Amino acid sequence: MALIPPHKDPMGAAIAEYHRTGRAGTLRVFSSQFDEDEIPVEQLFRTFGEMPQIEQRALTIAQGKILDVGAGSGCHALALQEMSKEVTAIDISELSVEVMRERGIHDARAIDLYDERLAEQYDTILLLMNGSGIIGNISGMERFFLRMKQLLKPDGCIYMDSSDLKYLFEEEDGSYLIDVAGDYYGVVDFRMQYKQVKGETFDWLYIDFDTLSYYAEQYGFHAEIVCQGEHYDYLAKLSR
Ligand code: SAH
C-alpha cells in the first residue's frame, strides 16, 4: 500500500520530463519472458482522438462519480473533465500525480487503490491500458474484487481493458503451446527504467475474457464484453 518514491519511479520520471519539456527519452521495459521493449512516452499523453477505440468507448459510457485507477499522466481523466464528467484520478506515482494536478485534473490523489483511506463509492471505476494489470496475478483476484465491492455503489460498474496473450504461444500449425500445469500464461513480470531511474519488478496480469469472467462470478460479479479491440484486446464491463 505504499506510494512509489521519485527515485524508484521510471514511468513517473518519464511523464514528468515529457510534461515539462514536451519530449522524453526512452522508457525501457524489461521482462524475464520477453525481449527488451519500450513504452513511447508521448502515448501516455494521448488525447481522446488518439486513443484506441476501446478506451474511447469506456470514456463515453462512464457516468456519475468516476474513479480512474492508475491514471498515469491523466489522459483519461482530462478527457472525462472535457466531457464535463466528475472524475477522481488516483495513482501510486507521486510524480505522475503532480503532473496531473499541473495539467488541470481537479481531483488527483497520490493513493494506492488498496489504501482504505480512499473510502468513497463510485458509479464507474475505470482501469485502462491493460487495466487488469493492477490485479497482478491470479492470487490477486480475491483482494481485487473485495476492494471493488467496497468502492462501487451497488449499481455501479467497472470498465477494464485487457488482452489475451495466447497469441504469444501460437505454433505454426495454429495450435497453442500453453503449459496448463504452470502459472497462468498472462502473468508477466516487468521492470522499467528511465535514464538512471530503475523501478522494482512487479507482476502485471493480462487476462483472457473467459478466465476473467470465471473469477468475477466467484466473487459475485458478472462480466461482459463491451467491445473488442484490434489485437486480442477487449473492454470488459463488470457489475454485480
Ligand atoms: N491509465 C494510464 C496509465 C497506465 S500505467 C494510461 O492509460 O495511460 C499504470 C499506472 O497504474 C501507473 O501510473 C502506476 O503507477 C499505476 N498503479 C499501479 N499500481 C497501482 C495501485 N495499486 N494503485 C494506484 N495506481 C497504481
Pocket test for ligand 1, best of 1, 92, 99, 162 (most atoms within 8 A of CB): 92
- Answer yes or no: pTM beyond 0.85: yes
Instruction: Write down the mean pLDDT value for the chain.
Output: 96
Taking the centre of ligand 1 as the mean of its atom positions, its distance from the CA of residue 41, in whole angstroms, is: 14
Position 137 scores a pLDDT of: 96
Mean predicted confidence (pLDDT) in 214-229: 97
Position 112 scores a pLDDT of: 98
Is the residue at 70 inside a domain? yes
Cα 49 from chain centre: 19
Residue 144: Cβ-neighbour burial (10 angstroms; 0-12, 13-18, 19+): buried
Is the residue at 21 inside a domain? no
Position 181 scores a pLDDT of: 66
Q: Which atom of ligand 1 is nearest to the CA of 134?
A: 19
Taking the centre of ligand 1 as the mean of its atom positions, its distance from the CA of residue 204, in whole angstroms, is: 11
Q: Which amino acid is at 119?
A: A
State pLDDT tens for residues 195-205.
999 999 999 99
Count of domains in the chain? Answer: 1
Q: Which amino acid is at 135?
A: I
Position 30 scores a pLDDT of: 98
What residues are paired with 236 via a beta bridge?
Answer: 160, 225
Percent of the chain with pLDDT over 70: 99
Is the residue at 167 inside a domain? yes
Query: Hey, what long-range contacts does 87-93 have (CB within 8 A, 24 or more apart)?
Result: 88/120, 88/122, 90/118, 92/2, 92/3, 92/4, 93/3, 93/4, 93/9, 93/11, 93/12, 93/15
Is the residue at 22 inside a domain? no
Residue 119 belongs to domain with CATH number: 3.40.50.150
pLDDT over 80 at 95, yes or no: yes
Residue 98 — very low, low, confident or very high, per pLDDT cuts 50/70/90?
very high
Pocket test for ligand 1, best of 29, 134, 162 (most atoms within 8 A of CB): 134
Domain that holds residue 144: 51-185+206-239
Q: Give the C-alpha separation, 229 to 53, whole Å.
A: 7
Residue 225 — very low, low, confident or very high, per pLDDT cuts 50/70/90?
very high
State pLDDT tens for residues 39-76.
999 999 999 999 999 999 999 999 999 999 999 999 99
pLDDT over 70 at 161, yes or no: yes
Taking the centre of ligand 1 as the mean of its atom positions, its distance from the CA of residue 90, in whole angstroms, is: 8
Query: Hey, what long-range contacts does 74-77 have (CB within 8 A, 24 or more apart)?
Result: 74/99, 74/100, 74/103, 74/105, 74/108, 75/44, 75/45, 75/46, 75/47, 75/51, 76/51, 76/126, 76/128, 77/105, 77/108
Is the residue at 211 inside a domain? yes
Q: Whose Cα sits closest to atom 3 in ligand 1? A: 72
Q: Whose Cα sits closest to atom 17 in ligand 1? A: 70
Taking the centre of ligand 1 as the mean of its atom positions, its distance from the CA of residue 224, in whole angstroms, is: 23
Is the residue at 6 inside a domain? no
Is the residue at 151 inside a domain? yes
3-state secondary structure of 93: strand
State pLDDT tens for residues 102-127.
999 999 999 999 999 999 999 999 99
* Structure letter (DSSP) for residue 141: H
What residues are paired with 30 via a beta bridge?
Answer: 191
Is the residue at 29 inside a domain? no
Mean predicted confidence (pLDDT) in 176-202: 90
